[in-house]
A = this chain, B = another copy of it.
Amino acid sequence: MKIIRDPKRMQAQAAAWRAEGKRIGLVPTMGYLHAGHLSLVRLAAARADVVVVSIFVNPTQFGPREDLNRYPRDFVRDRSNCRGAGVDAIFYPAAAAMYPPDYSVYVNEERLSAGLCGARRPGHFRGVCTVVAKLFNLVSPHVAVFGEKDAQQLRVLRRMTRDLNFPIEIVAGPIAREPDGLALSSRNTYLTPAQRRAAPELRRALEETAARYSAGERSAARLRAALRRRLARIPGARVDYVELVDDATLRPVRRVEKPALVALAVWFGKTRLIDNLRLGG
């Protein structure tokens, strides 16, 4: 397994693979890999000859008061996990190599990123789109895999890929969960034991919303209100947002008649967790 730090070397390696006719799969990550990331690696491996995992805690997608500095890092463990998963190369650039001092170009998605996490984290998707556009040009993948946990990110990046005409197939990986239902996230490591015990309630609350939908409830306001009440009962939880949005446009819906996304972000102390569920279709 190659460890590539220099962007120019990554680009040269990608060109060499392409010249050999190899299909390249990319799994962009911020490291601190868990079973969710490794499930994305398997999806990439099934669709490509070589798999690159990028590990980069991207500063441009963090707000000034967010957790950039405390974001968990463990390259030795990540390397071992990647080796075990049959990854061909880790692209592990330094921040200064990705963003020189006079860096000045950003990619903005202006519609799908307006609500949900985008409304709560100004500039977040600008940073995400920018770094992923850079990774696409550095790794030159045929296929790139992103997780459904970051539902808005997945849709924003599909749109970016379409609108900027990147010749890349975007594959979505289903949310990986702990046995008790908590969605896997590198940020789960921040949780205190009490918060960790409470956090699986997010998933149960979403399942209750799905049950209400299955029982015939189609009013977004009623589904949302019930979910919000349910979340309010979780010890130590503070709702950041709860939304029912159209699955394609991410705009709030009044009635769930087309596929919809129930998306939530909840604070446990200083830790913000997200989860989501699709309804219909």
Contacts and interface: CB of A to CB of B under 8 A. Distances in A.
Interface string A122-137: 0000000110011001
| Copies of the polypeptide in the assembly | 2
Interface stretch (A26-34, A161-169, A193-201): A161-169
Interface of A: 7, 11, 15, 18, 102-112, 129-130, 133-134, 137-138, 140, 159-160, 163-167, 249
Contacts of A105: 107-110, 129, 159-160, 163-164
Nearest to A108: B106
Q: Interface SS of chain A: helix, strand, loop or mixed?
A: mixed
Most B CB atoms within 10 A — which of A11, A15, A130, A165? Answer: A165
B108 A164 contact: no
Contacts of A138: 165
14 contacts: A7-B165, A15-B167, A102-B249, A103-B163, A104-B111, A104-B163, A105-B107, A105-B109, A105-B110, A106-B107, A107-B108, A134-B164, A137-B166, A140-B167
A140 B165 CA distance: 11
A167 B11 contact: yes
Nearest to A12: B167
Given A108-B108, A133-B133, A138-B165, 9 more contacts: A18-B18, A103-B163, A105-B109, A105-B163, A105-B164, A107-B108, A133-B164, A134-B164, A137-B165
